[in-house]
Structure formats: structure tokens, C-alpha cells
Structure 1
Amino acid sequence: MSDVDENSPLFAIAVAAELAGMHPQTLRQYDRLGLVSPTRTAGKSRRYSMRDVVQLREVARLSSEGVSLEGIARILQLENQVVELSARVRELESALADELLNRPGRRVFAAGVEGEVISLKHGTRTQRRTEVVVWSPRTPTRPE
């Protein structure tokens, strides 16, 4: 069975109307006006998702506050656009994160002689010094 989410068309018109606190005829009217358009089955019956029900409740709230149906349509259009753009941003962020994680040699650094950070190409090594350095503890020097 496929995953069920808020956009899955689950509810017949009678159930959606009850969940939204509206008459089924109101839902048909809103569908004709393009306010909340449910998906259709092969037999052309309406199937509402939980997101559709939430939008129907929003239509009822805005209508009770005196917003015209044209104004409600515009508000819903903008809200849907925000949802779509937010989903796209999440998708692009995920793709970018995957790209950064999968890119070979994404962060190869070494320390220079003076302690500075040196960026290296993937697969290259720093040049190793081969001089021999003798260290001895500091001893007081005697004048000769």
C-alpha cells in the first residue's frame, strides 16, 4: 500500500462536508468556483484529502470574517503557492546536502609550514620535507 499523507484523496463528499462542518452542496459550489477542488475518481466522484478539509475550514473562517469569495480564492492561491515553494526549497536543500556529501574531495586541507591552512585538490598530498632537524634543549651558551 502506498503512503498516506495530507494530500491523499480519502474522503467522499459527505464525509468531507461533515469534517468541515458544511453542507455537501456548499462543497460542490466551492468546487465549481475553484476554491477547493478535490481529486476525482474514475467514476467522476469527488475525493477530498485532509488538506482539502483544512482549506474548507479556512474558507468558512474567512467567509465568517467578511472576506469575499474572490478574496478567499486569492488567499488560498497564495497559501498553496507558499506550500509548493516550501516543498521545493526542502527538495533543493536536500539535493544540495546530498551533493556536498557525495562530492569527492569536498574538503581537503593541510597545514602549511607557518601553520596556515592550505586547500588541496582531491587525491594530492602535501610536499613532505626531508631535512633532518636536530633539537636539543636550550643550554646556556658560554662565551668562548
Structure 2
Amino acid sequence: MSRSHFSREPNPEAAVYVISVAAELTGLHPQTLRAYERMGLIQPGRTGGGGRRYSHRDIERLREIADLTSAGIGIEGVRRIMELEHQVDALRARNEELVAELDAVRRGLAARAAAAQPANKLPVLHQAAGQSLVVWRRGR
């Protein structure tokens, strides 16, 4: 295997940590992790045999839950905060998509407008007072 293969960042969604390691990394008891799973606050991956596997993202979420509960927020409050954070993240992502789409439309319109403006090489015609017609060429 190439050296660059080993230097890549691990996928934060990869479920790699067993419950004992997840508990140690978060400072929570394994029973607490199981309780949070029953409450729907966390959804670890499962092995073929049913063992729990936690991802880096799961570990971050567990740490956030621990921080909120240690600040005195109840589990239902934690659940609501996490739902709202998820909604905010989804709205931010959608906003980024819309901004990119708008920028692409603006670039397309600007390109069309530039293409629709032919180079004006014809003489400029002006009608002066007294019904005279004056013709001159633009300066070079």
C-alpha cells in the first residue's frame, strides 16, 4: 500500500469504536451509552453479531450530550437542542446550494448579456436640429 493511503483522514462516519473505547473516550459509563441509545439520542452502528460500533461523529455527539447534561439541561432539552442543531445544519447546507445555484445563474446571464452585445463598428448617426443628418465615425 502506498504511504498516502495511511495518511488519509479516517471517515468520521466509520463505526470503529467498541462500546468500552467509546465510553473511555467520552468519560461516560457504557450503561449510559446504552441508555442514550434507547432514548434515541445516539444510533451506533452494529456488527453482524449485534455488537455496537461507534464512529468519531458518535463520539463527538456523546461528548456534546455529556456537556449539555453536566450544564444542567435535562435529556428532553438535550434532545430538542440536538434536533434544532440538525435543522440548522440542514438549512445551512441548503443555503449553500442555493447561493451556488444563484451564482451560476448570474454568471450565465452575464455571459449571455456579453454575447448579445455586438461590437459596434458602424458609424454613429444623429439627427441634428433643422432636419439635417450628421454622420461621423467614433474615434479610434
Which interval holds the TM-score relative to the shorter structure?
0.5 to 0.7
Q: Where does structure 2 lack aligned partners over 5 or more consecutive residues?
A: 124-134
Question: Alignment partner for residue 122 of structure 1, among 96, 99, 115?
Answer: 115
Residues 1:22 and 2:28 aligned together: yes
Aligned length: 122
Instruction: Trace 1:80-95 onto structure 2 (pairs within 5 A).
Output: 80-95=86-101
Runs of 4+ in 1 over 6 A off after TM superposition: none
Distance 1:54 1:70 in 2: 19
The letter for the 2-side match of 1:26 is T
Q: Where does structure 1 lack aligned partners over 5 or more consecutive residues?
A: 109-118, 136-144
Residues 1:49 and 2:55 aligned together: yes
RMSD between superposed Cα atoms in Å: 3.1
Aligned to 1:70: 76
**Going by fraction, where is helix more abundant, 1 or 2?**
2
Task: Give the CA deviation at 1:27.
Answer: 0.5
Cα distance change, pair 20–90 in 1 and its aligned pair in 2 (3 A): same
Q: TM-score, normalised by structure 2?
A: 0.66
- What percent identity do the matched residue pairs reach? 39
